[in-house]
Amino acid sequence: MSAELHKPLLCRTCQWMYKHLLHMLAVSALLIGLMKVLWRIKRRRSLLTRTEELYEQVCEILEDNATMVKNSKSGDEKWVVASWLRDHLLLPRERKDAKIWKKVEELILEDSRISQYPKLIKGESKIVLEWQG
């Protein structure tokens, strides 16, 4: 018993770690798993927040464009090319991740105030958005 008390601290620490190694591994695995789950939840929430923010900006741009065209009585078009909106609103790093814009497109399709249809522009077929509300 007295020999146990005179062991160096490093030796006692190593013995304790070997004795409790499985418990330490299990706790470490649980902590890593919990961190991954929390990170995914945070990422999903930030994706939804950013998607809703972009959707609101799309609605504002389309509504402003429709109002300007209506007030000016000029030959300007009420529609806006969807790819232009995407490139205008998304940050460069967000353009690489198609998930954000796909979610925005889903919200646009659900909105009855916005029409989406193909249009031939300069010989190319483009998807355009038009404010109806």
pLDDT in tens, 92-106: 888 888 899 999 999
* Diameter of the chain measured on Cα atoms: 99
pLDDT by residue (tens digit) across 1-29? 566 677 888 888 888 888 888 999 999 99
The owner of tokens 């809703």 is 52
Pair of tokens at residue 33: 């798993």
User: How far apart (Å, rounded) are the C-alpha atoms in residues 79 and 116?
Assistant: 9
- Using DSSP, state whether 123 is helix, strand or coil: coil
What pLDDT, on a 0 to 100 scale, did the predictor assign at position 16?
Answer: 87
62-84 core/surface letters (b: 16 or more CB in 10 A; e: else): beebbeebeeeeeeeebbbbbee
| pLDDT at 73 > cutoff 60 | yes
**Which residue stretches of 6-131 are H helix?**
9-19, 21-72, 82-89, 92-95, 98-110
| pLDDT at 122 > cutoff 80 | yes
Every domain of the chain and the residues it spans: 2-131
